[in-house]
Amino acid sequence: MRLLDVFSVSSLVGGERMAIDWLLSETASMLRKPADDLDLRSEISLTELAARLTFDVQRDLLEYWDVIRGEGHLPARSDFDPLAVPHALPYVGLIDIIEPGPQFRYRLIGTKLPAYAGGRLEGRLVDEQKTPGIAAYLNCVYELPYRFRQPVFIRECADYEDGDEDCLARLILPMAQDRNMPDMLLVSIIYETQNNPGQQRRETTPRSCRALSMVSARP
C-alpha cells in the first residue's frame, strides 16, 4: 500500500500540536527516519485543501461540510441534507462511531461503493473485513478524524500480486450531534483507477496506517 498524499485540516479544535507530534513520532518510528525529515508540520487551509482535491464531487462535499458546521464546530448528522449534494451521494457513506472503542460500523453506503468493497457493508463493523490487515488499516484511518476532530484526505494506491494497481481518493469528514465529539463519519471514496472491481485479491505490500503523513490547516 502506497500512501501518496494525506492531508488533514486541524484548525477546527484544540490539540493540533499533539496530533502532529503523535503522527510525527509514529511515522518516524515506522520508516526509521529522523523526525526532521518528515514533512508533517506545514499547514493548509480548507480552501487550499479543496483546491488539491482531484474530484469535483469531493470538493463540493468538503465545501458543503464547511458551510453546515458553523463557526468552530462540527456539523451534526441532522445538518446534512442529501439533496444539497445529490451528485455526491453515489460515492458517499456514513459510518457510525461506537463507544467504547471506538469501533466503526457502516451505516449507509453509496451505490458506487459496494462493488468497490466486494459486497454489501451496511450494518457491518470495519473489524468484519475479510482481510485482517485491511481491517486494522481502516480502523486506524477512521480513528484519525475521530481522535483529532478534523477532516482527513488520503490518496492511496494498492499494488496486487497479479500486477494490477488500484488508486483511490478517500475524504473523511467528522460529524457530531453535540457539535464537538464525533459520533459519525461522512466518507467519500472515489477510485481513480480500478481493475477487477469486487474481487478479493492479495496486496503485495501490507497496508500500514503508521505510514501516514499529515498536514494541518491555518484558521
pLDDT of residue 57: 94
The three-state secondary structure class of 34 is coil
Q: What is the CATH number of the domain that holds 158?
A: 3.30.450.20
- pLDDT > 80? residue 181: yes
- Residue 81 falls inside a structural domain: yes
pLDDT of residue 121: 80
- 187 touches 138 (CB < 8 A): no
- Residue 106 falls inside a structural domain: yes
- Residue 219 falls inside a structural domain: no
> 60-73: per-residue pLDDT in tens?
999 999 999 987 78
- 59 touches 50 (CB < 8 A): yes
- Residue 216 falls inside a structural domain: no
The whole domain housing 97 covers 2-211
- pLDDT > 70? residue 35: no
Q: Which residues of 28-57 are buried (b: 16+ CB within 10 A; e: fewer)?
A: beeeeeeeeebebeeebebeebbeebeeeb
- Residue 119 falls inside a structural domain: yes
- pLDDT > 70? residue 109: yes
Q: State the cell numbers at 145.
A: 478524524
Total number of domains in the chain? 1
For residues 21 and 53, the model is more confident at 53
- Residue 125 falls inside a structural domain: yes
> 112-166: per-residue pLDDT in tens?
876 555 567 888 898 887 676 788 888 888 988 898 888 888 877 766 666 666 7
- 53 touches 59 (CB < 8 A): yes
- Residue 145 falls inside a structural domain: yes
- pLDDT > 80? residue 191: yes
- Residue 165 falls inside a structural domain: yes
